[in-house]
């Protein structure tokens, strides 16, 4: 897939962001790690990487998250583009949690920023971060070790995690769904439903779908392969179709949203299945649109 050229990000925002980032330090860190050796510790040789993920240059970086430079540059970029403040936005997911989980799964954990916050909020819980990129998991483990947090990291697919039925009390995903086609997002929700115990919670933090639909210029700044398809969807409907109850979406600084749901007891799920079919129409989002990734800086780092 070709990378977008001469976008608003590339022309105006990228130079500003780079003023605040210590690029020489990033390069030193990048060169200090044997990325192939370290990623092999996580790499699952039996895992089939889905084409929607392997074929895209996410964030304008060649090979997307399969380029170790993405693992190095992700955090410095995100702290400036996740308005108004990255910690506040991610904390909104933590604050929305109602249960006291003993086992937590963070899907698409990336470099584990939210995963670490989950462990801090629930220090006694078993916390597992799962991601398709072994390079991101190398960075995630580095951050967890530095913070002295005991977190497990697994190389896996959020659509088919391999964990047993009803294993978790809480399943989360931060900034994942706008990077997956809607059909994949819905498959992830069905997998989350399977993984949760009765009464368990799922929480999804991502871009505000209503805002993204109304501000096409915002999509043009942060061009990503599936963001328009995500924006035209409805997470509440997707959760209802997956079987979740008490579904609600809360706006976070207008630009973001937290959507949450609860896995009901079997009887409640049966009684409410008809209601779900009435109120949650099937998603008809066009997934064929192949948008270009926005060229966020990889700081000149190449694999």
DSSP structural state of residue 220: H
Query: pLDDT per residue over 39-71, tens digit each?
Result: 999 999 999 999 888 776 665 556 668 888 889
Supply the mean pLDDT for the chain.
Answer: 84
Give 231's contacts (C-beta < 8 A, 6+ positions apart). 178, 207, 209, 212, 213, 219
Contact by Cβ (8 Å): 218, 212: yes
Question: Would you state the pLDDT for residue 200?
Answer: 98
| Alpha carbon distances (Å) from 257 to 63, 93, 235, 239 | 28, 9, 10, 14
Global pTM value: 0.84
* Alpha helices, DSSP H, located in 133-292: 134-146, 182-195, 209-214, 216-221, 227-231, 235-242, 266-279
Query: How long, in residues, is the chain?
Result: 303
Question: Would you state the pLDDT for residue 26?
Answer: 86
**First CA to last CA distance, the chain:** 18
Query: pLDDT per residue over 217-263, tens digit each?
Result: 665 665 578 888 999 999 999 999 999 999 999 999 999 999 999 99
């Amino acid at each position: 897939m070709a990378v977008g050229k001469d976008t608003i990000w590339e022309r105006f925002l990228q130079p500003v962001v780079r003023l605040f980032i210590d690029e020489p330090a990033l390069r030193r860190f990048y060169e200090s790690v044997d990325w192939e050796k370290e990623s092999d510790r996580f790499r699952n040789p039996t895992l089939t990487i889905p084409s929607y993920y392997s074929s895209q240059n996410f964030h304008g970086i060649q090979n997307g998250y399969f380029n170790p430079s993405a693992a190095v540059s992700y955090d410095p970029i995100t702290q400036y583009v996740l308005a108004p403040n990255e910690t506040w936005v991610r904390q909104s997911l933590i604050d929305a949690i109602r249960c006291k989980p003993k086992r937590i799964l963070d899907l698409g954990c990336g470099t584990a920023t939210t995963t670490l916050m989950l462990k801090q909020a629930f220090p006694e819980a078993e916390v597992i971060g799962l991601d398709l990129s072994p390079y991101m998991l190398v960075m995630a483990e580095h951050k967890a070790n530095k913070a002295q947090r005991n977190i497990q990291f697994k190389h896996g697919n959020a659509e088919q995690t391999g964990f047993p039925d009803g294993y978790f009390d809480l399943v989360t995903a931060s900034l994942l769904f706008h990077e997956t086609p809607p059909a994949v997002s819905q498959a992830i929700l069905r997998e989350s439903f399977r993984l949760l115990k009765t009464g368990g919670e799922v929480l999804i933090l991502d871009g505000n779908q209503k805002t993204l639909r109304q501000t096409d210029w915002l999509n043009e700044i942060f061009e990503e392969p599936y963001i328009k398809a995500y924006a035209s969807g409805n997470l509440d409907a997707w959760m209802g179709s997956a079987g979740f109850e008490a579904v609600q979406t809360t706006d976070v600084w207008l630009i973001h949203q937290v959507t949450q749901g609860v896995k009901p007891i079997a009887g409640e799920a049966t009684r409410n299945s008809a209601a779900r079919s009435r109120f949650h129409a099937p998603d008809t989002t066009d997934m064929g649109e192949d948008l270009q990734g926005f060229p966020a800086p990889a700081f000149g780092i190449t694999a």
